[in-house]
Amino acid sequence: MQRRPYNKKSVPATLICPNLKCTNISSKLYIVEDKLAEALKIWLANYKLNYNLKDTTNNDNNKLLKHSALSIEKEIKKENEKLNKLYDFLENGIYSSEEFISRSKTIKETIKNLETKLNEYSTTLNNNEKSQSEKKSIIPKLENVIDLYYKLETAEDKNILLKSILAKVTYLKTEKAIKHNSDPTNFELNIYPKLPKI
């Protein structure tokens, strides 16, 4: 679909399909714009609701991850203390070299496993926090787009603004609104935001 302006200022621009064989029926552009703004507002309201619900769950999950990471750090500290005691036992002749090697190998493997788990928790936590930050930053961005859209004067500026947040918009109209009491908004509009899923 593309915008078709008219030379007369009293005639509003329309949204038409440039393909002559296309069965999609045109609409006045301002009506489509209004519906698009309305769809964005509805989508934003739903997004905020889902974000707030899932944000609580994500915060709880992050608290659990942080608690688990702290527990693992304590375990690593304990294992390192055990390892230091082994060196003392070896130096004082309590452990033979073979006993020391066997015990230290077991403790070092435990430390390595704990460090791997700690790295996994840290990575997950960092990814969660980054994702939450990105999702939260979308809300003011979309609010700004909705507020700014009607203040822009050129179709090109409006198009650039919409493309900053939308991957695409589909439009479908199968019935002409030619009768006096017919509905000019009898079209289907689907928006596809360029936004991370919650």
What local confidence, expressed as pLDDT, does residue 118 receive? Answer: 92
pLDDT (mean) for 82-111: 88
What is the structure's pLDDT at 71?
Answer: 92
Least confident of 26-35, 44-53, 158-167, 168-177: 44-53
Residue 130 to residues 58, 82, 133, 134, 167, Cα–Cα distance (Å): 12, 36, 5, 6, 22
What pTM does this model have?
Answer: 0.57
Average pLDDT score over the chain: 83
Question: How confident is the model at residue 179, as a pLDDT?
Answer: 67
Pick the residue with more confidence: 83 or 176?
Answer: 83
Distance CA 110, CA 78 (A): 11
